Every structure is written in C-alpha cells, then in structure tokens.
Structure 1
Amino acid sequence: MKKQTNGPDHADCTAAPQLQRALRVLSGKWKGEILWQLVGGKRRFGELRRAIPDVTQHMLTTQLRDLENEGLVKRTVFPEVPPRVEYEMTPAARDLRPVFDELSRWANAHGRLEPASPVADDDADGRRAGSSDRPAR
C-alpha cells in the first residue's frame, strides 16, 4: 500500500473548496482593509477614502461593489441632496471579527515582517557587479 504524499492530511477534504472560496471572496488588495475599517461601524465613502489613503476612488468603489455582491457589505443610499451613502458590515462579515482579531494578534507577535532580501551580486570589495568607480559614458 502506497502512502499519499501530495498534500497535508485533512480529516475532511470537503472543507478545502469552502476555504478556497472564502479566500477568493476576501482576496483583493483593499478588501481586508475595507472590512477592518467597517469593524467599528458604518462609514461613508469619503471616510473610507480618508482612512485608506493609498486606495484610488475607482478601486475603492470596485472593491466595495465586490464585497457587496458577496454579501459582506451593505450599502445604504439616503435620498438626500447631496446623496449620502453609508457602508456597513453584514452579519456574515461581522462573523469574521475573530479572524481579524487573530490576524492582529499574529501581526503583533511577529512584529514587522521583512521581505526576504534579494541575493546581491557584490564583488569582494562590496561593490555591485558591473559597477566601477569610473563615471558612465
């Protein structure tokens, strides 16, 4: 009898597709940040934009729509002039709170994670390969 070594032992292999779907739903550069901002309660679009300064207006709109389509964010439009729109977590998204808490605990325990440094092509003198003291022509 040959032992299978293709992957980790899982008592319930049916969980894998569900985990993959959950990761697809939550993947996206800004989705986690958006949900984290909504943990504290309802937020208007402008508040989210200020809270996540690196996100573009287009990307924030796209990610919010994706989260709304997945049932994680509820969008409420108030018939006012000017129009007011609020976003909030749905109960399904609020169930992710322990996941966010655990990620926060993990990040605090491991400090700032540094990416692996690339292998430098330095010569014995510490200069980059292909560099010289002569100015480029």
Structure 2
Amino acid sequence: MTTCISMRNLVTTRNHQLWVTLKKLGIYDMALKMRKNKSLKPPKPCMLTECMAVISGAWAPNVIWSLRAGSRRFSELRADIPPISAKVLSARLSELEEKGVLTRHVRRTSPPSTEYELTELGAELLPALDAIVQVGHRLKAKRSKAA
C-alpha cells in the first residue's frame, strides 16, 4: 500500500525530519526536472505580445481581413461579418483605430457616412493573417484525414 504524503501534511504534523528523509531518497520529488528553454528570449517589451494584442480582440482579424481590399462602411462590415453584433463591431473599430491599425473617415454625403480603411501599419498585418489562414487550412486538412 502506497501513501501519498504532501508537504502540507508533513509540515502541519511537524514531521519535518521524515520529509527531509523522503526528499533525500527522492521519494517526495517525483516531478520531472525542468529543462532549460533553448529558444531566444523575446525582446523587451515583447513584440510578439504587442502584435498579438492588436489581433487578439474578438473579430479583430475579421475586421482587418474585410478591409484588405479597401475602405468599407460600418453596414458593409456588418454584412461581411454576419455573426458580429453592432456593439462589438463598434468597439473593435474604435480599438483598432486607437492602435493605429485603421483610420476612420467621415464623408460629407447626404446622409453622412463613415468609412474605415487600413493604415500602412494595418496593411503590414495582412501577410501575418494570410499565414495564419494557410496554417488553418493545413490543420483542417489534417483533422479531416484523421477522422
């Protein structure tokens, strides 16, 4: 019969000597040793985190994707991304504008209209989104073969 002895139980029962003995025998520390990470450390601040913060918002990649061919009005973006609510789309457009990914242009038409388009920075995200889409296709194909 094996008994699981936790450090909390040993300390609370003040049986520190038993814990030391078990540790010396290697019975307490059965976990795998931590291996050193051989990857290059990300630069500080982490640019990967900065970039992912831009595209990680709900529907943000879809909004960027929809603007890739040129400017779009709010209603057109709603039609491009049917599941998105007006509230979420409005919030995402504001966030992406604040982050410098897109610009908002109010047109003096009758009735007035607002158009959104990618900035130069926003356009630089397109190759990354294209790459993510390609990986998505490969993952889907792999799952289909496995099923």
- TM-score, normalised via structure 1 length: 0.72
| Ranges of 4+ aligned residues in structure 1 off by more than 4 Å | none
User: Quick check: which has more Rg, 1 or 2?
Assistant: 2
Q: Does 1:34 align with 2:63?
A: yes
| Residue aligned with 1:87, SS | strand
Give distance in 1, aligned partners of 2:42 and 2:99: 24
User: 1:112/1:66 Cα in 2 relative to 1: closer, same or farther (>3 Å)?
Assistant: farther
Give distance in 2, aligned partners of 1:113 and 1:23: 25
Query: C-alpha offsets along residues 10-64 of structure 1, whole Å, 9 cap, x if unaligned?
Result: 3353166111111112211110110011111111111000111111111100000
The one-letter amino acid paired with 2:52 is L
User: 1:112/1:52 Cα in 2 relative to 1: closer, same or farther (>3 Å)?
Assistant: farther
- TM-score, normalised via structure 2 length: 0.67
Give distance in 2, aligned partners of 1:47 and 1:99: 24
User: 1:106/1:56 Cα in 2 relative to 1: closer, same or farther (>3 Å)?
Assistant: same
Identity of aligned residues (%): 29
The one-letter amino acid paired with 1:98 is P
The one-letter amino acid paired with 1:71 is G
Bigger share in helix: 2
Give distance in 1, aligned partners of 2:110 and 2:45: 47
Q: RMSD of the alignment, in Å? A: 2.2
The one-letter amino acid paired with 2:115 is E
Q: Return the match for 1:19 from 33, 48, 53.
A: 48
Q: Does 1:52 align with 2:58?
A: no
Aligned length: 111
Give distance in 2, aligned partners of 1:57 and 1:112: 33
